[in-house]
Amino acid sequence: MIGLGNPGLQYARTRHNVGADCVALLGERHGERLVHSRKEHAEVAELRVAPGMRRLVVAFPSTFYNEAGRAARALVLRHGIDDPAKVVVVHDELDLPVGRIKVKAGGGLAGNKGLKSIKANLQTDEFVRIRIGVDKPPSSQQGADHVLRKPGKREREELDVCIAEAADAVELILTDGIERAMERYNRKEP
């Protein structure tokens, strides 16, 4: 599982880093610390998720968001992943309102440069995405300004709930499969 975001304290807890926040939450839930791996261009932890203590590798790329594909390729090679459907990417989504998440298998990239980088490096778009809604910016702002800003208190609380749901979705995909996760999270009303 790869959580997208930008490295550095200035980007921590911004809308753009909800994927990174999901990685941190999963590590915390399972008592594991992320460790920097130069070869994988990421902060990485290996988790054991019940039932059956299934193995889950979580990673936050140490590259910038738009270059996340370098880490994705290194992680896939390192862990011998031969099925792109076993790669789950958690990221922010302008086309969803705050308070919503959606699980998606393969398909279009909707202009997301991090996903484009992953597609280019894995040479496929058949990986799974968990999209966390951050809503479109007000008309006076552009998308980049919106996602790189920290949300207000109320929105932060909503995003924290979504990040926890995204972490639940990652675990559900691992234990019960993508279809079950899509059933559970894609029908949810805001």
Q: What is the pLDDT along the chain (190 residues), one digit of tens a residue?
A: 999 999 999 999 999 999 999 999 999 999 999 999 999 999 999 999 877 778 999 999 999 999 999 999 999 999 999 999 999 999 999 999 998 999 999 988 888 999 999 999 999 999 999 999 999 887 655 778 899 999 999 999 999 999 999 999 999 999 999 999 999 999 755 4
**Among 16, 41, 91, 146, the one annotated catalytic:** 16
Q: Quick one: which of 56, 21, 85, 9 has its CA closest to 45?
A: 56
Right CATH for 2-186 from 3.40.50.1470, 3.40.50.12140, 3.40.50.300, 3.40.50.720:
3.40.50.1470
* Structural tokens at position 176: 């019960």
Give pTM, 2 decimals: 0.95
Where do the domains of the chain lie?
Answer: 2-186
Helix, strand, coil fractions of the chain, as percent rounded to 5: 45, 20, 35
* 41 catalytically annotated: no
